[in-house]
């Protein structure tokens, strides 16, 4: 069942989303070669806790990290480690959940470490564009498949593939609520969007083939072919006439 949020719940979602946005502000320009993925996670966790929130992912199905930090061919769920050192030219996605007053903000950004090859920069850029292409269709009366389809079309027309195993999702008082939101699909299919729905839209795009494998840690998902992947996510609220991004600070929040 898709939970439609009350105005009070929407406001709580905004506050949780704001904490996530503050994490990205703290990370922007501060991720550099020589730091570990645990260093990245520690910056994020400090911002979350300093703002009275709790890192949602910590302990979620026994996940051991405060946030997920995934490098290069790691698609999602990379566990922060003091032994995983970032190098010049890496791309690193930081997936952040913050729980505040019982409600959750969930978003991800992929960062460039130093001077990054053009193919990697392009992948990161197109992945973000996929999000914005998708949410053009986020409004009451549209169907969820319209968002999924737009993401898939933009990824594939730019020569990328869309992994099938991982999807976006509803978000609210639980991290994963209905509906599942694939990054591929048919227009005009799926649930009808309604004002008050809160959704985590998260394109995950691969440079090579779409197949992933899960590593021995039972969490980290890597691309089977070892090629790069990128991840961009925001939590959004369906509004009366469009959408509002809940996990950004300055950029355009409204569609």
The tens place of each residue's pLDDT in the chain, 255 residues long, gives 999 999 999 999 999 999 999 999 999 999 999 999 999 999 999 999 999 999 999 999 999 999 999 999 999 999 999 999 999 999 999 999 999 999 999 999 999 999 999 999 999 999 999 999 999 999 999 999 999 999 999 999 999 999 999 999 999 999 999 999 999 999 999 999 999 999 999 999 999 999 999 999 999 999 999 999 999 999 999 999 999 999 999 754 555
Retrieve residue 13's tokens: 């979602």
Considering the domain boundaries, does residue 87 fall inside one? yes
Backbone angles phi, psi at 150, to 5 degrees: -65, -40
The overall longest dimension of the chain from CA atoms, in Å, is 48
- pLDDT value at position 135? 98
Considering the domain boundaries, does residue 2 fall inside one? no
- pLDDT value at position 254? 53
The residue behind tokens 């009350």 is 6
Indicate the DSSP class of residue 82: T
Considering the domain boundaries, does residue 134 fall inside one? yes
Cβ pair 173, 183 in contact under 8 A: no
What SS3 state is found at 127?
Answer: helix
Residues 6+ apart with CB under 8 A from 63: 57, 77, 79, 219
Considering the domain boundaries, does residue 254 fall inside one? no
Q: Which CATH number is 33's domain given?
A: 3.90.230.10
Please report, for residues 2, 179, 220, 223, the alpha-carbon distance to residue 199 in angstroms, rounded to integers and kept in the order given: 10, 8, 23, 25
- pLDDT value at position 189? 97
Considering the domain boundaries, does residue 45 fall inside one? yes
* Strand residues in the chain grouped as ranges (E): 54-55, 68-71, 74-76, 91-100, 103-112, 168-170, 177-181, 198-201, 204-206, 212-214, 221-223, 229-231, 234-238, 243-245
Cβ pair 47, 23 in contact under 8 A: yes
Q: How far apart are CA 58 and CA 36, in angstroms?
A: 18
Retrieve residue 64's tokens: 């051991």
Q: How far apart are CA 236 and CA 239, in angstroms?
A: 9
Q: How many domains are there within the chain?
A: 1
Task: Give the domain extent around 143.
Answer: 7-245
Considering the domain boundaries, does residue 107 fall inside one? yes
Considering the domain boundaries, does residue 222 fall inside one? yes
What SS3 state is found at 70?
Answer: strand
Residues 6+ apart with CB under 8 A from 143: 187, 188, 189, 190, 191, 192, 193
- pLDDT value at position 255? 52
Considering the domain boundaries, does residue 253 fall inside one? no
């Amino acid at each position: 069942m898709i939970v439609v949020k009350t105005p009070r719940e929407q406001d709580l979602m905004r506050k949780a989303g704001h904490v996530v946005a503050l994490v990205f502000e703290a990370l922007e320009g501060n991720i550099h070669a020589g730091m570990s993925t645990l260093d990245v996670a520690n910056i994020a966790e400090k911002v979350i806790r300093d703002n009275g929130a709790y890192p949602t992912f910590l302990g979620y199905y026994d996940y051991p990290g405060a946030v997920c930090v995934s490098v290069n061919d790691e698609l999602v769920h990379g566990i922060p480690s003091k032994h995983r050192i970032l190098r010049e030219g890496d791309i690193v996605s930081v997936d952040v959940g913050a729980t505040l007053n019982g409600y959750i903000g969930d978003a991800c950004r992929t960062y460039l470490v130093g001077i990054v090859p053009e193919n990697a920069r392009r992948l990161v850029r197109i992945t973000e564009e996929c999000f914005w292409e998708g949410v053009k269709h986020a409004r009451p009366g549209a169907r969820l498949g319209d968002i999924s389809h737009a993401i898939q079309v933009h990824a594939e027309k730019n020569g990328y593939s869309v992994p099938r195993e991982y999807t976006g999702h509803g978000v609210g008082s639980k991290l994963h609520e209905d509906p599942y939101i694939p990054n591929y699909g048919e227009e005009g299919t799926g649930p009808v969007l309604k004002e008050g729905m809160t959704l985590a839209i998260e394109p995950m795009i691969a440079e090579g083939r779409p197949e992933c494998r899960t590593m021995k840690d039972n969490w980290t998902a890597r691309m089977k072919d070892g090629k790069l992947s990128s991840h961009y996510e925001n939590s959004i609220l369906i509004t009366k006439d469009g959408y509002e991004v809940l996990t950004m600070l300055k950029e355009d929040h409204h569609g």
